[in-house]
């Protein structure tokens, strides 16, 4: 009998983010709304803070803010998924909640380079207890021109049919997204690829976690390619998460699209998945970590968290991400509300680790060139966000990373004011700049209560509002 991992130290535990109860967490899965609750599942290994055979952990919420832990939804206990119930999605049909997920099987458990991946179904009538379909796998083999990489089905309904998009790799070693069609979620017809990598260095050798949805009259293909080579100040993470904007032709199974764009510019963001709320907002969660990073919390019996939920909008052929409106419910005390002209301001609050900050700097006629937001220990700057007026570039610097991996970059459109909204939660910090035009998601690990500073090379008019945030 395996014993779940036990948390031995709370020093890095997040207060208001979805996080693993203990053990390991990665991708968000099955984001959905069913019987009055939002549901979020996640890749979960309960027995260690190291990654192991994947289960589906499960939370539900009535407001996207306060989450109730539910029993494990999927356990890798079937021949087709004995080495992991990998990522997937959820949909409601005829009153039931269906999960569609990838089963992973290693031909040799000591050789993880050879595996079989299949698509499988489980269902529930109460949204809590799930039964695997007796006819699994519902898609037993990938297409003939596909490699063994064949995972992460995302399901949706269009017209009278159901579709899934699956992340895959063709036999020439190029990442791609392929689609299937069904009338009952159990029997699937292969349609073909709708988008293919234009070269390994350019768009990756494998695409994970694809998600196709409509927004503002256009279609968006979200995915997480692996293998894109760094190009100057772009694609600096080990793996990317980004999107193509285009138009899906369901009759031809074709997706005409623009170039790939990164979605979040921080060090810690991957495997994002979206869902539609009852009021038709497109909400996104991402994994607030990155493969092969350092995970100091593993020493404490846990590892992994998800981003705060974000609402997506499409403007200027770009996805914007902003914190969902429900997060305002977490606001407790307003701890700062100041308008001042300053070149150096320490933001003194009683609890700087559970905080929302809104900073607006009047920069249109400002004579300076640089504004910094700094989260620091006494000894060092932990996280620094720098805006350069001359080129509208934003640079995020992490002190705990090697020098050649410490910085991430983005560029803003010209605007009269600089607006930065910051969410801090024990060991995470998320920046939303100019209403979500640029977003940086980061983990940080402080050995003491950090301090927060805003500085500029010339005095600047700035409005600072801050709230402590509840669990």
Residues 311 and 177 in one domain: yes
Extract the residue ranges of the chain whose pLDDT is less than 70. Answer: none
CA pair distance 237, 388, nearest whole angstrom = 22
349 occurs within a structural domain: yes
**According to the model, what pLDDT value does residue 19 have?**
99
Residues 232 and 177 in one domain: yes
**According to the model, what pLDDT value does residue 1 have?**
86
Residues 193 and 339 in one domain: no
Residues 111 and 209 in one domain: yes
Residues 90 and 218 in one domain: yes
Any bridge partners for residue 443, and if so which? Answer: 428
Residues 248 and 356 in one domain: no
Residues 373 and 258 in one domain: no
Residues 280 and 394 in one domain: no
Residues 168 and 37 in one domain: yes
Tokens of 363: 């920069």
101-154 residue pLDDT tens? 999 999 998 999 999 999 999 999 999 999 999 999 999 999 999 999 999 999
Q: What is the CATH number of the domain that holds 253?
A: 2.115.10.20
**According to the model, what pLDDT value does residue 38 have?**
99
**Quick check: 32 and 73 in contact, CB under 8 A?**
no
Domain span holding position 402:
330-469
**According to the model, what pLDDT value does residue 471 have?**
87
CA pair distance 373, 469, nearest whole angstrom = 19
Torsion (CA) 114, 108, 304, 40 in degrees, nearest 10: 80
Structurally, the chain folds into a number of domains equal to 2
Domain's final residue, options 299, 323, 347: 323
Q: What is the CATH number of the domain that holds 383?
A: 2.60.120.560
230 occurs within a structural domain: yes
Tokens of 6: 């036990």
9 occurs within a structural domain: no
b/e map 281-302, b = 16+ CB within 10 Å: bbbbbbbbbbeebebebeebbb
CA pair distance 34, 60, nearest whole angstrom = 10
DSSP string of 188-233, one letter each residue: -EEEEEEEE-S-HHHH-SEEEEEEEEEETTEEEEEEEEE-PPPBTT
**According to the model, what pLDDT value does residue 379 have?**
84
Domain's final residue, options 292, 323, 354: 323
What pTM value is reported for the model? 0.98
Domain's final residue, options 279, 305, 323: 323
6 occurs within a structural domain: no
27 is catalytic: yes
Residues 62 and 207 in one domain: yes
455-469 residue pLDDT tens? 999 999 999 999 999
12 occurs within a structural domain: no
222-247 residue pLDDT tens? 999 999 999 999 999 999 999 999 99
């Amino acid at each position: 009998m395996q014993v779940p991992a036990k948390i031995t130290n709370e020093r890095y535990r997040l207060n208001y983010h979805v996080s693993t109860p203990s053990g390991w967490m990665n991708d968000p899965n099955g984001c959905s709304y069913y019987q009055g609750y939002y549901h979020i599942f996640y890749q979960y290994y309960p027995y260690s803070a190291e990654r192991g055979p994947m289960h589906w952990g499960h939370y539900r919420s009535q407001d996207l803010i306060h989450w109730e832990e539910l029993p494990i939804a999927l356990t890798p206990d079937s021949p087709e998924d004995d080495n992991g119930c990998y990522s997937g999605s959820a949909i409601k049909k005829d009153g039931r909640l269906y999960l569609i997920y990838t089963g992973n099987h290693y031909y040799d458990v000591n050789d993880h380079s050879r595996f079989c991946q299949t698509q499988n179904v489980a269902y529930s009538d109460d949204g809590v207890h799930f039964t695997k379909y007796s006819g699994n796998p519902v898609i037993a083999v990938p297409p003939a021109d596909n490699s063994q990489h064949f995972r992460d089905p995302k399901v949706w309904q269009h017209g009278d049919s159901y579709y899934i998009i699956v992340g895959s790799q063709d036999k020439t070693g190029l990442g791609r997204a392929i689609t299937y069609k069904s009338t009952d979620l159990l029997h699937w017809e292969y349609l073909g690829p709708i988008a293919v990598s234009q070269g390994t260095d350019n768009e990756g050798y494998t695409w994970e976690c694809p998600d196709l949805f409509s927004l503002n009259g256009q279609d968006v293909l979200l995915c997480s390619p692996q293998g894109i080579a760094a190009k100057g100040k772009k694609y600096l993470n080990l793996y990317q998460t980004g999107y193509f904007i285009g138009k899906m032709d369901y009759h031809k199974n074709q997706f005409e699209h623009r170039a790939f764009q990164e979605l979040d510019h921080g060090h810690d963001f991957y495997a994002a998945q979206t869902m539609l709320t009852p009021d038709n907002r497109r909400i996104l969660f991402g994994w607030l970590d990155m493969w092969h990073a350092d995970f100091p919390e593993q020493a404490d019996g846990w590892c992994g968290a998800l981003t705060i939920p974000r609402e997506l909008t499409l403007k200027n052929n770009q996805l914007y991400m902003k914190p969902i409106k429900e997060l305002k419910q977490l606001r407790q005390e307003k701890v700062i509300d100041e308008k001042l002209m300053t070149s150096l301001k320490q933001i003194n609050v009683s609890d700087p680790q559970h905080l929302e900050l809104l900073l607006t700097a009047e920069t249109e006629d400002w004579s300076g060139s640089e504004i910094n937001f700094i989260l620091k220990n006494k000894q060092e700057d932990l996280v620094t966000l720098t805006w350069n007026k001359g080129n509208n570039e934003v640079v995020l610097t992490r002190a705990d990373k090697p020098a050649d991996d410490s910085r991430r970059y983005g560029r803003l459109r010209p605007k009269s004011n600089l607006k930065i909204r910051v969410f801090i939660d024990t060991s995470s910090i998320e920046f939303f700049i100019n209403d979500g035009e640029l977003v940086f998601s980061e983990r940080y690990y402080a050995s003491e209560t950090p301090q927060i500073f805003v500085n500029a090379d010339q005095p600047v008019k700035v409005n600072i509002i801050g709230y402590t945030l509840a669990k």
